[in-house]
Chains A and B, each alone.
Chain A
């Protein structure tokens, strides 16, 4: 009874394995492959984003509002957009909760920007896997991890 409760609790709190070979690798000496994250996520942003100047901020919307990374840019010429089905991506935008010299945007505003990026990346829809914020200087980055349907 107790063990059954534990199994159910685990099942409710963890992600299912996407790589079917995990159970096979578990019975091998290949620890490297077993613990490798097989759900590689493509980051659609630069690792270290330089803080834009206040003057530039006044003139430009967040980059995702128009054209974020190359992968996220919508097709312009009518060509079929890649669905990226099953692929995982991560996007982020900087926002402030007060007043910032680095960004004028609120959390509410960048949510829309991030959704535009997800829509551009996954034309068939997406499943948002995680949402989290990380501090940067006096601001935050809002991150979305998502998987294309």
Chain B
């Protein structure tokens, strides 16, 4: 579509939304702006005679997964309704992302919901990713998110997903996605090339979940999550084991350090062949103040095109505090450190300290 036609489309969409709003339920806008100002220090320490490489050593304003979403539902019958969600990440600090885009697609779907549960199709976080709940106390924060260490934090394209309603505290979730490959050498050309499934159980003070990925971003992952709430104290844990499903597709790290990890290796065909890791986290609330701590450790084996291999031990530690101004607004401060030590002697490490503000709407 040519750009000069897009304003007309926007106007048409606006008119359409307004008409739909008059005819039925109005769409709901939701989102949040999460901004932080923080000192960042990330580097690669290499064995002599190689020189160390500083990646970042500065102060940064960061937009931490700030987003804008539109959701809604339309009644089809007394027992069935159509549901939709369109959610985009916004760059609240820079205004646009690298490449000039002002919006970055997050989860988006259309589906049907009834007493049977919810079926959606589109693009969405995998069930395995979402079972983490609030156990990741530093979700979306630089060097604090579990994606800095653990694989499995994936958003799946072309997803079809079914979720049951809560049944005596239990929920079951299944997602499939075709790989959409074609050609003589296509492997992922079926209906369910990627599968992610989860069972969750929530009852009073307990939350537990078990999830499995098969060939999601080239990995097979099993993740177990648990959380217990003891008055003001929440204790959480994640255990995860992952194996490679498809060579040449897996580069498990998705966090800040991935970029210079891959550039350091500077070679194609890097595969993280397997990973075992765990996380422990705690949160203590006193009035409007929430104190948080998180510890994570993982061991990851990787190889380069089957000819070289190494092992990496990863550790993350994060500490932080939130001050809730009200239900929508929170001030926060945190410190986080991540270190990846390879047997070959190279250390990828990073730390950050900063403060920020989150406003939900």
A-binding segment of B7-15, B176-184, B264-272, B282-290: B7-15
- The answer to whether residues A6 and B118 also contact, given A28-B130, A29-B198, A32-B113 and a CB cut-off of 8 A, is no
Q: A26-B30, A29-B163, A35-B83 are in contact. Are A12 and B71 (CB under 8 A)?
A: no
Chain B residue numbers with a CB within 8 Å of A35 are 71, 73, 81, 83, 113, 118
Complex interface bits, A26-69 against B, C-beta within 8 A gives 1, otherwise 0: 11111110110100000000000000000000000000000000
Query: Given A3-B101, A5-B7, A23 and B83 touching (CB < 8 A)?
Result: no
Please report which residues of chain A, range 65-123, place their CB below 8 angstroms from some CB of chain B when the two chains form the complex.
Answer: none
* A2-B10 contact given A20-B327, A29-B127, A31-B118, CB 8 Å threshold: yes
Verify A16–B361 contact, CB threshold 8 A.
Answer: yes
Asked if A136 is an interface residue, CB under 8 A from chain B, the answer is no
A131-148: CB near B (< 8 Å → 1, else 0) gives 010000000000000000
Contacting B26 at CB < 8 Å: which of A12, A14, A23, A27? A14
Distance, CA A30 to CA B83, complexed state (A): 13
CB distance from B103 to the nearest CB of A (A): 5
Contact A16/B29 with A2-B6, A27-B130, A31-B83 known, Cβ cut-off 8 Å? yes
Nearest B residue to A2 by beta-carbon distance?
B6
| Inter-chain contact A14/B30, CB cutoff 8 Å | no
**Given the known A-B contacts A11-B29, A132-B22, are A32 and B166 also in contact in the complex, defined by CB atoms under 8 Å?**
yes
Interface membership of B131, Cβ < 8 A: yes
Interfacial chain B residues near A3, Cβ < 8 Å: 101-103
List B contacts of A26 (CB < 8 A).
30, 69, 71, 85, 87, 107
Q: Assess the A22–B30 pair: CB atoms within 8 A.
A: yes
| B residues 19-71 in Cβ contact with A at 8 Å | 21-22, 25-32, 67-71
Interface status of B188 (Cβ within 8 A of chain A): no
Nearest residue (CB) in A for B32 is: A23
Contacts of B27 in A (CB 8 A): 13-15
**Do the beta carbons of B10 and A29 come within 8 Å of each other?**
no
Q: How far, in whole Å, are A14 and B111 apart by their CA atoms in the complex? A: 20
A29 contacts B113, C-beta separation under 8 Å: no
Interchain Cβ contacts within 8 Å, total number:
112
* Beta-carbon contact of A23 and B360 below 8 Å: yes
Q: Which residue of A lies closest to B113 (CB)?
A: A35
**B18 contacts the other chain (CB 8 A):** yes
Residues of A within 8 A of B29 (CB): 10-11, 14-17
B223 within 8 A of A: no
Which residue of A is nearest B131, CB measured?
A29
Report the count of interface residues on B (CB-CB < 8 A): 55
A87 and B25 alpha carbons, distance in the complex (Å): 17
A128 to chain B: closest CB distance in Å?
14
B87-116 vs A, Cβ < 8 Å mask (1 yes, 0 no): 100100000000001110001000101000
Task: Please indicate the chain A residues that have their CB under 8 angstroms from the CB of B69 in the complex.
Answer: 22-23, 26
**Which residue from chain B places its CB closest to the CB of A7 in the assembled complex?**
B68
B residues in contact with A11, CB < 8 Å: 29
CB distance from B45 to the nearest CB of A (A): 35
**A23 CA to B89 CA, complexed, in Å:** 12
Q: Are B173 and A4 in contact (CB under 8 A)?
A: no
Set of chain A residues within 8 Å of B328, measured between Cβ atoms? 20
The answer to the question of B122 belonging to the interface, with a C-beta cut-off of 8 Å to chain A, is: no
Query: Could you say which residues of chain B place their CB within 8 Å of the CB of A30?
Result: 166, 171
Complex interface bits, B138-173 against A, C-beta within 8 A gives 1, otherwise 0: 000000000000000000000000010110000101
Given known pairs A12-B14, A132-B22, the reply for A22 and B7 (CB within 8 Å) is: no
A15 touches B102 (CB 8 A): no
Query: Max chain A CB contacts within 10 Å: which of B28, B118, B198?
Result: B28
B325, CB-defined interface residue at 8 Å: no
Identify the closest chain B residue to A1 (Cβ).
B102
Contact A2 B7 (CB under 8 A): yes
Q: List 30 A-B contacts (CB under 8 A).
A: A3-B101, A5-B7, A5-B10, A7-B68, A9-B11, A9-B13, A10-B14, A10-B68, A12-B14, A13-B14, A13-B17, A13-B27, A14-B26, A15-B29, A17-B28, A17-B361, A20-B328, A23-B30, A23-B31, A26-B87, A28-B130, A28-B133, A30-B166, A30-B171, A31-B117, A32-B118, A35-B71, A35-B113, A35-B118, A37-B73
Beyond A2-B6, A20-B327, 11 additional pairs, beta carbon < 8 A: A7-B103, A9-B11, A10-B29, A15-B26, A20-B360, A20-B361, A27-B125, A29-B127, A32-B117, A34-B71, A35-B71
The chain A residues found within 8 Å of chain B, CB to CB, are: 2-7, 9-17, 20, 22-24, 26-32, 34-35, 37, 132
